[in-house]
Homo-oligomer: A and B are copies of this chain.
Amino acid sequence: MITGQLAIETRELSIQTQGEEIDLIDLTPELREFLQATPITDGRLTIFVPGSTASIIATEYEPYLNQDTKRIIKELVPLGDNYQHDRIDNNAHSHLRTSIFGSEMTIPVVNSRLTTGTWQQICFADFDTRPRRRTLVVQLMGIAPTQE
In the complex, A53 Cα to B1 Cα: how many Å?
29
Smallest CB gap from A138: residue in B: B108
Taking chain A's interface residues, is the majority helix, strand, or loop, or is none over half, making it mixed? mixed
Smallest CB gap from A63: residue in B: B84
Interface size of A by CB at 8 A reads 67
Nearest-CB distance from A31 to chain B (Å)?
14
Nearest-CB distance from A18 to chain B (Å)?
19
Q: Which 9 A-B pairs have the closest CB atoms?
A: A64-B84, A65-B85, A108-B139, A58-B103, A51-B117, A50-B117, A6-B6, A52-B120, A64-B85
Please name 5 pairs of A and B residues whose Cβ atoms are closer than 8 Å in the assembled complex, sorted by A.
A1-B38, A8-B143, A64-B85, A64-B88, A65-B83
